[in-house]
Amino acid sequence: MSERTQVHSTTSVQVVSSEQLKQTGQSNVMAALEQLSPSLSSPSFSGLGTNGFVRTMQLRNLSADETLILVNGKRRHLSANFNSNDGPNAGTEPSDIALIPISAIDHVEVITDGASALYGQEAIAGAVNIVLKRNSHGGEFNIQNMGYYAGDGQGVDGSADYGLALGKRGGFMNLAGQITHTQPTNRSGIYEKAGDPQSGQDLNRMMGAGSQLVATMSANAEMPVTDTIKAYLLATYAHRNNVTPQSVRTAANVNNILQYYPNGFQPQMGLQEDDFQINGGFRGTAFKDWMWDTYVTYGRDEQEYSTLDSVNATYGMNSQTKFYDGTNISTQFVAGGKMSHNFNVGFLPKPVNLMFGGEYRHDTFQLMAGDLQSWSDGGMKAGATPGASGHPGAQPAAASDTSRDIFDGFVNTEFYVTPKWEWTLGGHAVNYSDMGKTAATGTIGTRYNFNKRWAIRANVGTGYRAPTLGQENYYIITTFPGYSTAQLPANGEAAKALGATGLKGETTKNYSIGFDAKPLDHWNVNANLYCIQINNRMANSTQFTEYNGSPIASILSQYNMSNVTYAHYYGNPVNTVTYGGDITTDYTLDVGRMGQLKFNLGINFSDTEISKMKVSTTMFNAYAQNLLLHSAPKNREMVGVRWSWKKLSIFVQEERYGSVTYIATPSLGGNDWLNVKPGYITDLEVGYQVLDRLHLAVGANNLFNYYPNQLRRSLSVSTSSGAYKYPTNSPYGFMGGYYYVKASMTF
């Protein structure tokens, strides 16, 4: 393993190489990082409904959108997918780095200090910077076959990258692409419902991942224009097609039409997604070693939803079986520049580095309504739920087209007060046109190098994170076995009727202390302790069944919403504080003729608690609190070793995930909550260099087929007619063992 610690920074930075990413056997960078960094959590199952389409990632046990995503140091646009359903990272709208070809990546920098003033306002937990390859020649091709021990989820992944020289002055273009196709998985229990003649049959086929095809490509280029100016370009494009089963409707279900489906039906939820980003700019030097960089970026994510193999029973025999449910579109335009220069100051031992810059950003979020039958009531069957069964479409009243302008400026300085003592000062000011305020944040960092092997560092900073446009305006109704849930627009009239007071931004304070060490030539250590205070923490409210004594259905009927069991909205219900620490270390040992051993160890512990309730527990109950506080384990540990001998390599890693709490439905009493047992996951890969340019490997994630504890059968039946067999928020998933075989060829 390459060194995971960048040892000369006032902030904590873990560096993960492309080789390490490949060794995980994962087909996307988010899943690979989760296996390599103990501070990251990215469960393989992100939740039900639209949550299941986009895998999310948490840093230091905070929400997914409290981590800033950068690619080549530039901001990555947001996904159009708002995680409205219950599960890890409910209520978030983060960037989707799984849509970047893993073959394009040179390395990943995981900044695990809150650094809003240094990197951007969203960097409350930290930042992840994906650095793409800069090769001017050669390339690599990879092919991988994989699947689960259970016999499902089979897939094929192919990826490649190739470097080209541009001109004769050191220019390059690195092209990369990846295609991944996977079959669905299913871990549902047997269907059981009193009085239904189909009870006891294997009808539930919804607890798992859907079938998915993802194609991604990228281009990363740079070319000198003059002796002092370089032009650069980065472009990524991705297409995702996903079809995920929803809960079964048996023949006796009120939402079934027997003439269409005599034996009942299982609706499918479909996603067609197109995502791209283009970054371009110039950088160089001027005015006696002033470094400058000007750039423009544009990113867009479009997600079109559909419901297949379904009906709208309220239309009777006039019902469609395929429905267009609506489209979400998120865009971001950025134009900015920055400059830096080293100044000699006579009384300081080293030059002072000054950096300053600014950005203009234009964000948009658009929610387009579905076709008429996807959401409306045809009036032909009493008691049936209006809309496409499984995933009703967005109503015209819920459609929105919003935008905002953001002006962002910063100044940072780095200097040494002694040859061994470094300081960093930073300030950031951001104005949001829709928030009516300018948020100013700052940071102070210091590092003392005792010698070349030992250093201590500390940071104090403040931050501000505005809600995304999706968090302010998203609306959806999702049906589950036995109930339905409405996610209401945070600033809409329906949410206000349930007590919403508008959505505000989060303000934060971050404190950290840590050390970097190299006790021996081949031994690296990075350790940190931190405290993160967040005021006005954004989270989903209680899922209301009634409000002020009136049933939800009665209240929402005034807004053309009917047959809704639960309704919730995004708000600022609490202040929280997170305490934690992490350590990563790696050691390389040469064992003579027997080759080389590379050891790695990672530990993270993190606990988030409510420091102040800003609303009553009626407005933010135990279920909502659990989703916010306990969707990621409080601790994770990993230890691994790679043995390399001649052409043979063997890698084994053991990971431990702490427990989490699972609550099956919003109204479930505390006696029925499930404590998901800690997970012990073993990963293994055996590789062999068959030829100079050909490498073969076989491996397994979760080698010993470890599963979380099952729900009590009576609870599974009462909450989901037996469908939910395992806790959906298990941090290590519930699919069991996973194998892969892969070949890599360089050229």
Residues 6+ apart with CB under 8 A from 616: none
d(CA 448, CA 451): 9
Please choose, from the candidates 101, 113, 55, 188, the residue with its C-alpha nearest in 3D space to the C-alpha of residue 459.
113
Please choose, from the candidates 468, 437, 608, 439, the residue with its C-alpha nearest in 3D space to the C-alpha of residue 538.
468
Task: Give the tens place of pLDDT for each residue, 133-161.
Answer: 999 999 999 999 999 999 999 999 999 99
- Count each helix (H run) and each strand (E run) in the chain, helices first: 9, 35
pLDDT of residue 654: 97
pLDDT of residue 554: 84
Q: How many CA atoms lie less than 13 Å away from 420 in the CB half-sphere?
A: 9
Compute φ and ψ for 564, nearest 5 degrees.
-100, 125
Q: DSSP class of residue 5?
A: B
Q: What angle do CA 685, 39, 612 make, to 5 degrees?
A: 150
6 occurs within a structural domain: no
4 occurs within a structural domain: no
Mean pLDDT of 461-482: 84
For the chain, the maximum distance between any two Cα atoms, rounded to a whole number of angstroms, is 88
Q: DSSP class of residue 694?
A: E
pLDDT of residue 4: 43
Task: Give the tens place of pLDDT for each residue, 531-548.
Answer: 999 999 999 999 898 888
Under the banding of pLDDT at 50, 70 and 90, the label for residue 5 is very low
46 occurs within a structural domain: yes
81 occurs within a structural domain: yes
7 occurs within a structural domain: no
Residues 6+ apart with CB under 8 A from 60: 39, 112, 125, 126, 530, 532, 578, 580, 582, 604, 606
More confident residue, 393 or 553: 393
Inter-residue contact 41 to 636 (CB < 8 Å): yes
547 occurs within a structural domain: yes
Q: Domain limits at 253?
A: 13-746
pLDDT of residue 562: 66
pLDDT of residue 47: 66
Whether the pLDDT of residue 454 is over 80: the answer is yes
CB atoms within 10 A of CB 433: 12
DSSP 64-97: GGGEEEEETTEEPPPPS----SSSTTTT-----G
Mapped to the 3 state alphabet, what secondary structure does 254-301 carry?
Answer: CCCCCCCCCCCECCEEEEEEEEEEEEEEEEEEECCCEEEEEEEEEEEE
Type of residue numbered 608: T
Strand intervals (E) in 394-482: 400-418, 421-432, 437-449, 454-465, 476-480
Whether the pLDDT of residue 505 is over 50: the answer is yes
pLDDT of residue 555: 87
Q: How many residues does the chain have?
A: 747
DSSP 196-214: -TTTTSS----SS--EEEE
Inter-residue contact 394 to 307 (CB < 8 Å): no
**Could you tell me which residues are beta bridge partners of residue 146?**
155, 740
pLDDT of residue 46: 67
Under the banding of pLDDT at 50, 70 and 90, the label for residue 2 is very low
Q: What is the CATH number of the domain that holds 731?
A: 2.40.170.20
626 occurs within a structural domain: yes
Q: Mean pLDDT lowest for which of 59-68, 166-175, 177-186?
A: 59-68
Mean pLDDT of 430-435: 92
Q: Which residue has the tokens 């800003």?
A: 614
Q: Is 204 exposed, middle or buried (0-12, 13-18, 19+ CB in 10 A)?
A: buried
Q: Mean pLDDT lowest for which of 176-190, 430-444, 479-493?
A: 479-493
**Could you tell me which residues are beta bridge partners of residue 132?**
105
pLDDT of residue 99: 96
pLDDT of residue 3: 42
Compute φ and ψ for 328, nearest 5 degrees.
-110, 135
Task: Give the tens place of pLDDT for each residue, 25-35.
Answer: 898 899 999 99
pLDDT of residue 1: 30
Compute φ and ψ for 351, nearest 5 degrees.
-60, 150
Inter-residue contact 74 to 615 (CB < 8 Å): no
d(CA 81, CA 79): 5
Task: Give the tens place of pLDDT for each residue, 193-224.
Answer: 888 899 999 887 778 888 999 999 999 999 99
Mean pLDDT of 668-690: 92
pLDDT of residue 222: 98
378 occurs within a structural domain: yes
DSSP 622-671: HHHHHHHHSSS-SEEEEEEEEEEETTEEEEEEEEEE--EEE-SSTT--GG
Q: DSSP class of residue 46?
A: -
Q: Radius of gyration (Cα) for the chain, nearest Å?
A: 26
Mean pLDDT of 178-186: 96
Inter-residue contact 255 to 313 (CB < 8 Å): yes
pLDDT of residue 87: 67
d(CA 455, CA 195): 69
Q: Which residue has the tokens 């997914």?
A: 64
- Relative to beta strand 523-540, strand 437-449 is unpaired
Inter-residue contact 93 to 54 (CB < 8 Å): no
667-696 in b/e form (b: 16+ CB < 10 A) is ebeeebebebbbbebbbbbebebeeeeebe
Whether the pLDDT of residue 443 is over 80: the answer is yes
Average pLDDT, the chain: 92
Mean pLDDT of 322-350: 96
d(CA 176, CA 132): 10
For 286, 339, 343, 635, the CA distances from 353, given in Å and listed in that order, are 16, 11, 6, 38
Under the banding of pLDDT at 50, 70 and 90, the label for residue 502 is confident
Whether the pLDDT of residue 665 is over 90: the answer is no
Whether the pLDDT of residue 41 is over 90: the answer is no
Strand intervals (E) in 558-634: 566-590, 596-613
Name the domain count of the chain.
1
- For CA atoms 14, 18, 23, 24, give the dihedral sign: positive
Task: Give the tens place of pLDDT for each residue, 368-407.
Answer: 999 999 999 999 998 888 899 988 898 898 899 999 999 9
pTM: 0.94
- For CA atoms 163, 645, 583, 660, give the dihedral sign: positive
d(CA 658, CA 37): 15
Q: Give, for 517, the enclosing helix (H) or strand (E).
A: strand 506-520
d(CA 655, CA 36): 10
